[in-house]
Structure 1
Amino acid sequence: MARTINDMDLKEACVQAAREVIAERGVEGLSMRDVARRLDISHQAPYRHFPSRDHLLAEIMRRCFEDFAVFLDVSAKSHSHDELRGMGDAYMSYAAEKPLEYRLMFGTPWPEPAAHPELVKHAVHAFDVLRKNLLKKNAQQKHVQQKHVQQKRAKKQAELEALFIWSALHGLATIKQSNVMQHLVLSKGVQTHSKDFMMLMIQSALASGKSKEFIGHMG
């Protein structure tokens, strides 16, 4: 006989059970029936909180992005002398320490975004942590009040730089997760210092002024 779980606990229990299923079988193996079976509840019980499998998956992904944004923000603030470096370190640490959550955020096809606005909201917020940091950094470098056109260009610059940084860090984090580095016969110390070198190159690229020059050509 299926057991009962009070309504307040049921939602959390379903989320936790779904995470366990994903950890064992991947996202493709997730189903509402499996969640119910794992919790020993009726097959219809999870639908009280999640109308479909996609709604359950979207909630799990939303929580991952929320946790990720907090992780980045806290690290940036704790490295006030170099917030960008702090965020880079946090990004790589998160990917290494929470591989399941990282893959859910960046390696899983999204459920229909229009049907899950909270997922979109938290994903955008995670990106905003980086975007706002770059806007602040660029504004501090100029030391002048920007006009409207300059503000628009500064926003474009920050967004392109944020995408560049995110892409670079994502690439390195993904390679590290795949263990491919272990088979590349790299020189001693290369893998150990790969993150530091990546951050050095990112900071060098940002300091070069090339992104501002590129924005100028965009108009």
Structure 2
Amino acid sequence: MTAPLPYSTIREIFTRFRDDCAEPEGELEHLNAFTLVVAVALSAQATDKGVNRATRDLFAIADTPQKMLALGEEGVIGYIKTIGLYRNKAKNVIKLSRILVEDYGGEVPSSRAALESLPGVGRKTANVVLNMWFKHPAQAVDTHIFRVGNRTGIAPGKDVVAVERAIEDRVPVEFALHAHHWLILHGRYVCKARKPDCAHCLINDLCAFEEKTI
């Protein structure tokens, strides 16, 4: 495991990220908190682009839990069958929609515990919703962030929860809200799994990765 970077280095890294893109955004398309929950739940083991292609038409007719319930499980399947594990995901979308209607008045709750209680919603999904919709400095660690956190030394950890905690503990508070977006975009487009593009990396002089491609 890469040794943790000094706090001053981490501050410089996120200063550069902010200077390059002050307001990073997630790439999953959504219309409101409910469609964000559904989109993130559908994105497990799928690409954001693939989810967006499937949900554009779905959300055009079912952008509330009530409308999703009216569509029904088979109706949802008709829109998302290009996404992996679509049958189980459709079942979860209907289940979580019913819970939102029956227990939360059709509104998406703003607590992590409540979000995680919804079918198909795990810690990462809950953190994405808390961050993107409710503007909490929650850190949703996916494979990209796990890789970048460990490679660079920004937030090394043996599992996603350890990396999440490391980000919370080590990233300066002024960068906390956007930290996971900067890291995920960096991992998706620059610090890629097989061929990291170190030559075009904003932080290659600060990164602790020993196998840099430059």
Do Structure 1 and Structure 2 share a fold, with TM-score over 0.5?
no
Q: Whose helix proportion is higher, 1 or 2?
A: 1
Q: Smaller-chain TM-score range?
A: under 0.3
TM-score after normalising by structure 2: 0.23
